[in-house]
Chains A and B, each alone.
Chain A
Amino acid sequence: MPKFWRTVYWIYLKDLKEEFRSTDHLLATLVFGTMLVFVFSFALELVEVSTDQVFPAALWVSVFFMAILALQRSFAKEREGGTLDALLVVSRERSVLFYAKFLASFTILLLLEVVVVPLLWILIEVTGPKVNLWLFLASVFLGSWGLAAVGTLLSGITAQLPGARLLFPILAFPILIPLLIGAVLCTQGALLGEVEPVLGWFYLLLIFDLLFTILPLVLFDYVVEG
C-alpha cells in the first residue's frame, strides 16, 4: 500500500508542477472566476436585493462554473500531450491515476477559491453578527472535494472522446445536484450561525464526497483501459 500512495504522490507532484510551469490555463481560470464574481455582484447590485441572502447561491454558482473549467483539464491535457499512455504504464492500479489527479484538482480548486471566495465575500458585503466561520470553511472544503472527485472521474471519461469537451458540463450537472443543494444550504447555515438545522446537509456532503471518492476505486479500471 505505501507504494500505491508513493505513486499517487509523484503523479500529484507532476501535475501541480505542470500547472505552475505553464500558468496560462490556471491564470485564465482564475480570471474567469474573478469575472464571474464581478458579474454576479454587479448584477445583484442593480436589482437591490438583500445581498447576503443571495451569497450562498452566488458563491456556489461561481465555484461550480470555475470548477468546470478547471477540472475538465485534468485528463484533457494528458490526452492533448499524448501522455496518457505513459501514465498508464506507471502503475497497474488504475485508481492511482484517479487519486493523484483528484488530489491535484482539489488543490488547484482550493487555491483558486482562496482568491475568489474572499473577493465575493467583500463585494457582496456579508455582514452577520453570528457568522460561523468554521462551518463556512468546512462547507467550502467539502463542496470542493465533491466537485473535484466527480470532475476528475468525468474528465477521465470525456478526455478520451474526440470532440467531447462540451459534454463535460452536461455530464457533471445532474450528478452534482445533491452536492449543490447541500453546499448552498450549509453555507447559508454558516452565515446565519445556525449549525443544528444544517447538520443533516453537512452529513449529506460527507456521504456524497465519500461515495465519489470510493466509487472510482472500482469504476476507474473501466474508465482508462488499454
Chain B
Amino acid sequence: MKQGLKNPLFWGLSVIMLLNIYLIAFYAPVERTMGVVQKVFYFHVASAWVGLLALTVVFAASIAYLMRRTERANNLALASAEIGTIFISCTLLTGPLWAYPIWNTWWTWDPRLTTTLVLWFMDLAYIALQGGGVSEDRKRLSAVYGIICFVNVPLVFFSTRWWRSIHPVVITSEGMALTPEMKVAMFFSVGVFSLLYLHLLRLRVKSLGLQRRVQQLKAQLFA
C-alpha cells in the first residue's frame, strides 16, 4: 500500500482519472433525449473495451505460455482474466442503470449484452480452472482453455447478433453518432480505462509472482 502511494504512475493516473470525470461531467454535452443518464455511457463503453482487451491479453499470454512455459506468461494471463472480470462486471452493472430508464427493462437478450455476459462467464470459468493452483498441469490446461475462449468470441458475437439487436450502435461504418465533445470524452475515457487496466495488470502480475515465490520458499523450507 505504502509503495503504491509512492508510485508516480498512481498519482499520474489519479490526475487523469479526475480529468476524465471532469470531461464526462462538464465538457461533454447532456444528450438531448436521454438526459443525464447517458453519461454512464463513457464508463460503460470504456469498461467493455477493457474487458475485451483483457481477454485478448489472456489469449496472447496463453499462447506465450504454451510456447515458452514461463511463470510470467501464466501470471499475466491469470491477472488479465481477473482484472477483465472486474471491468466486465462494471459494464454489466452500468448497462442496466442506463437501460432501465431508456429501454424500460433491466436486461434483455441483446447480442452485446449476451456476448458480454458470456465473456464474464468465460473469465470466471478460466479463473476457476486456474484455481490458485501451482501445478504445471493446471497452468497448461488453463492456457488451452484461454485460447478456446478467445477463438469462440466471434461465434458468440455473430450468433447473438443475427438473433436480435436493439442495442444502440454508436460506431458504424458511416461514422459515429456523437457530437465532437462526446467523442473526445469517450476516447479519453477509453484511454484512461486502458491505462488503469495496464497499471492494475502490472501490480497484479507482480503480486502473483511474489505469491508464487513465497509458495516456493515455503515448499523448500518444509521439504
Quick check: A178 and B145 within 8 Å, CB to CB? Answer: no
Total A-B pairs in contact (CB under 8 Å)? Answer: 75
Partner of A181, one of B129, B138, B159: B159
Chain A contacts for B155, CB-based, 8 A: 178, 204, 207-208, 211
Please, how many residues of chain A have a CB less than 8 angstroms from a CB on the other chain? 28
Q: A146 CB to closest chain B CB, in angstroms?
A: 10
Q: Which residue numbers of A lie inside 8 Å of B, CB to CB?
A: 153-154, 157, 160-161, 164, 167, 170-171, 173-175, 177-178, 181-182, 185, 200-201, 204, 207-208, 211, 215, 219, 222-223, 225
Quick check: A219 and B122 within 8 Å, CB to CB? Answer: no
Chain A contacts for B163, CB-based, 8 A: 181, 185
Type the 1/0 row for B22-45, where 1 means its CB is closer than 8 Å to any CB of A.
Answer: 000000000000000000000000
Q: Which of A171, A200, A201 has the most chain B CB atoms closer than 10 A to its own CB?
A: A171
Chain A contacts for B124, CB-based, 8 A: 170
Main SS of chain B's interface residues? Answer: helix
- Taking the complex as formed, is B147 at the interface, i.e. its CB lies under 8 A from any CB of chain A? yes
Decide: A174 near B138, CB < 8 A? Known: A167-B128, A181-B160, A222-B144. Answer: no
- Taking the complex as formed, is B118 at the interface, i.e. its CB lies under 8 A from any CB of chain A? yes
A-B contact pairs, 29 of them (CB 8 A): A157-B129, A157-B144, A157-B145, A160-B141, A161-B129, A161-B137, A161-B141, A167-B128, A167-B129, A170-B124, A171-B129, A173-B121, A174-B156, A175-B122, A175-B148, A175-B149, A175-B152, A178-B152, A178-B155, A181-B159, A181-B163, A182-B159, A185-B163, A200-B162, A215-B148, A215-B151, A222-B66, A222-B140, A222-B143
Type the 1/0 row for B118-148, where 1 means its CB is closer than 8 Å to any CB of A.
Answer: 1001101100110101000110110111011
Q: Which size bracket describes the interface of B in this complex? A: 20 to 34
Q: B132 CB to closest chain A CB, in angstroms?
A: 12
Complex: A21 Cα to B49 Cα, angstroms: 52
Chain A contacts for B128, CB-based, 8 A: 167, 170
Q: Which B-chain residue is minimally distant from A215 (CB atoms)?
A: B151
Complex: A219 Cα to B145 Cα, angstroms: 10
In chain B, positions 157-186 with a C-beta closer than 8 Å to chain A are 158-160, 162-163
Quick check: B148 and A153 within 8 Å, CB to CB? Answer: yes
Quick check: A177 and B144 within 8 Å, CB to CB? Answer: no
Quick check: B159 and A177 within 8 Å, CB to CB? Answer: yes
Quick check: B145 and A171 within 8 Å, CB to CB? Answer: yes
